[in-house]
Amino acid sequence: MVVLHLPRLLSFSLSRQTYSISKRTLTTLLHPPKSTLTTSEPNLEVISTTITPKPQTLSLENIFIPPNTNVTDNARILNGSNILLSNYATDAQIIQADFVKSSVRFEDCPSDGLPEFALVGRSNVGKSSLLNSIVRRKKLALTSKKPGKTQLINHFRINDSWYLVDLPGYGYASAPQELRKDWDKFTKDYFLNRSTLVSVFLLIDGSIPAKKIDLEYARWLGENQIPMTIIFTKCDKRKKKKNGEKNGGKKPEDNVNDFQELIRGYFETVPPWIMTSNVTHEGRDEVLLHMAQLRNYWLKH
């Protein structure tokens, strides 16, 4: 079954590489990140990974071109992404961030009509850490080594003009079954009924091979035509290959490519994605520019 990916606005993907469209070479907005990535987190079975930017040709159908954006010789792709930079990428900087409220039902969410971006992903994928990284605040969203800490729809108002929304993680096996059903229900109700939702940011662990539950979640979003950007987290890490494991030890870029291939059949176009690291903060600026493009286009249209 082929599901048409219909974003309401614009969205983009990220890879630490410089791409070209057809015969045109697209320059990047920011300098490439340092190639050697390491982690300072203790007790993690990971090894440092080296990501060397390499020129690569990307076909036009795999590039996201924002509305009202022309592909010219001077067109630029955000650093390490497949999204063209548009004129809507303004006012990306976050000056103020405040927690507003937690809700169980989408009907109880803020009703001021401001645009919002929702973060969702498997438990312990790094949602709250990414949110803190984006706003450059260590404790705006509560983080925990124990999965399942986020249990409500949490709204954070940014610059008094838009929201970041932290949603409960899925796939937390230790949570009671009834509680997991409640999380799943009110989260999906929120996706289907929240008129101010600009885009869902689906977080996927980029340090490991694709999980079935993540593939199923991406498919559900596509089937319901929920605008989506895939955010690959933990891309500073590379899990060691264990005995008998066929796919362990792959570089994050390989896991990202594999995930895209696995969901390709569910979508008419490849959904946008961004590689990030909450340790090195790589991808943070790209996420903010992406949100600015989405938000400003949404507000105008």
220-239 per-position pLDDT tens digit: 999 999 998 999 999 888 76
Rounded Cα distance between 86 and 65, Å, is 8
Per cent of the chain over pLDDT 90 is 37
Q: List, in order, residues 6 or more apart from 182 with CB less than 8 Å away.
A: none
Residue 228 lies in a domain: yes
pLDDT band for 2, please (50, 70, 90 cuts). Answer: very low
Rounded CA-CA distance 19/80 in Å is 8
Q: For the chain, how are helix, strand and coil distributed in percent, rounded to 5?
A: 25, 25, 50
For residues 261-285, average pLDDT = 85
pLDDT band at 182 (very low <50, low <70, confident <90, very high): low
pLDDT at residue 84, as a whole number: 80
Task: Give pLDDT tens digits for 101-121.
Answer: 999 888 999 999 999 999 999
Full domain range(s) for residue 54 = 19-300
User: Is residue 163 scored above 80 in pLDDT?
Assistant: yes
- pLDDT grade for 214, boundaries at 50, 70 and 90: very high
Quote the tokens at residue 262.
Answer: 């696995």
Q: What is the pLDDT of residue 291?
A: 95
Q: Could you tell me if residue 11 is inside a domain? A: no
Alpha-carbon span 261 to 263, nearest angstrom: 6
Weakest-pLDDT range from 42-51, 55-64, 156-165 = 42-51
Alpha helix (H) ranges present in the chain?
A: 127-135, 177-193, 212-223, 252-263, 284-300
Q: Tell whether 2 is covered by a domain.
A: no
Residue 175 falls inside a structural domain: yes
Higher-pLDDT residue of 244 and 190 is 190
Residue 81 DSSP label: B
Task: Report, in angstroms and rounded to the nearest whole number, the Rg of the chain calculated over CA atoms.
Answer: 18
Q: Is the pLDDT of residue 14 over 50?
A: no
What is the number of other CB atoms lying within 10 angstroms of the CB of residue 54? 10
Residue 271 and residue 222 in contact, taking contact as beta carbons nearer than 8 Å: yes
Q: Is residue 3 part of a domain?
A: no
More confidently predicted of 248 and 103: 103
Q: Total structural domains in the chain?
A: 1
Does 1 fall in a domain?
Answer: no
Contact yes or no for 32/15 (Cβ under 8 A): no
Whether 14 maps to a domain, the answer reads no
**Which of 31, 5, 79 shows the shortest CA–CA distance to 260?**
5
Confidence of residue 179 (pLDDT cuts 50, 70, 90): low
Assigned domain for 5 exists: no
What's the CA gap between 127 and 133, in Å, rounded?
Answer: 10
Question: 16-20, 96-100, 196-200, 232-236: which range is least confident on average?
Answer: 16-20
Of residues 128 and 1, which shows the higher confidence score?
128
CATH number for the domain harbouring residue 85: 3.40.50.300
